[in-house]
Amino acid sequence: MKLLVTGSSGLIGSEVCLHFAQLGWRIHGVDNNQRAVFFGPQGDTRWNQSRLAESLGSSFSHHELDIRNRQGVLDLLQEIKPTAIVHTAAQPSHDRAAAIPFDDFDTNAVGTLNLLEAARQACPEAPFVHMSTNKVYGDRPNTIALTEHETRWDYADPAFADGIDENFPIDQSKHSLFGASKVAADVMVQEYGRYFNMPTCCLRGGCLTGPNHSGVELHGFLSYLVKCNLEGREYKVFGYQGKQVRDNIHSHDVARFIEEFLKAPRVAEVYNIGGGRANSCSIREAFKLAEKFSGKSQVFQYVDENRIGDHICYISNLDKMRAHYPDWDITVSLEETIRQIVEAKR
């Protein structure tokens, strides 16, 4: 069995490569270190590419390819004819997108279309898993009634006690240009499923994290926060008193869900994949957890103006994932995730 993974040197891509290689799959990784172009040297992922090559040996092939290269993508898929495709490559920052709108859209939307059409021509039966984002909902989650607690915001509306589900609307909201490009990709993945009856799914991620994340200020919440903590670097908190809430899912649990989907693929499905309420925390609460495992005080500066389109509180409702794939659930707690990140970055 052959698995094609785009963004294979990134956090989720590399985790998927390692996970499926252990299951006996032949891995084809597609990556051109575009993250270093988007974020500079601190975003460089060549170290992860080398780690994969060393760890996986002959079961891993690296393909230096930009997914914006339409003919190159088609040629590669026709050559490999993968059993399944996991698409994690992206411009991942909603802040950065405003400065590079064409690069953002061409990577996130057009790159995804290139892969979908190549898959339709080369291997239409291959399940296609797309890493989408909760930013497809724009800032619409901020319209939910909230309650302010000592260290976090939370939903006041009991309908959202278990978080936001896949029926939440995406219209009439501010997405950021990144969110808009990801909406285009998300809807296109669904459409190729429905229109061409291809087995596709969109995973609308919360904060995807883990010890192998090359976190930067504009992307990679826990990874960057821990890095700042360990180095004594000032972390900027943008608005909402630092009480804004994220749910965090370890990359291993993302790879495990993808495994379950590939065992029993569905057509044009959408899942809100995150850590759920149990793995949620505010920035203030994340500071305390980082300090607990590092033994160092968090240095931070508060900036009163929030980031455009930022979620005040976002928790993923995991009911649909658990119902469709009952063998899957969260296995790595928030505390264990942060402990691993601290140990990896010491």
Q: CB–CB of 91/179 below 8 Å?
A: no
Domain range summary for the chain, segments of one domain joined by + = 2-345
Rounded alpha-carbon distances, angstroms, from residue 183 to 144, 188, 195, 209: 21, 8, 18, 21
pLDDT digit string (tens) for 115-147? 999 999 999 999 999 999 999 999 999 999 999
Residue 90's closest CA among 49, 43, 51?
43
| Helix and strand counts by DSSP (H, E) for the chain | 12, 14
Q: CB–CB of 94/116 below 8 Å?
A: no
Place of tokens 């658990």: 322
pTM given for the model: 0.96
Q: Which pLDDT band, with edges at 50, 70 and 90, does 40 fall under? A: confident
**What's 2-345's CATH class?**
alpha beta
pLDDT digit string (tens) for 247-281? 999 999 999 999 999 999 999 999 999 999 999 99
Residue 60's closest CA among 72, 51, 47, 69?
51
- The arithmetic mean of pLDDT across residues 51-72, rounded, is 97
Rounded alpha-carbon distances, angstroms, from residue 26 to 57, 63, 118: 11, 13, 20
* The pLDDT of residue 217: 82
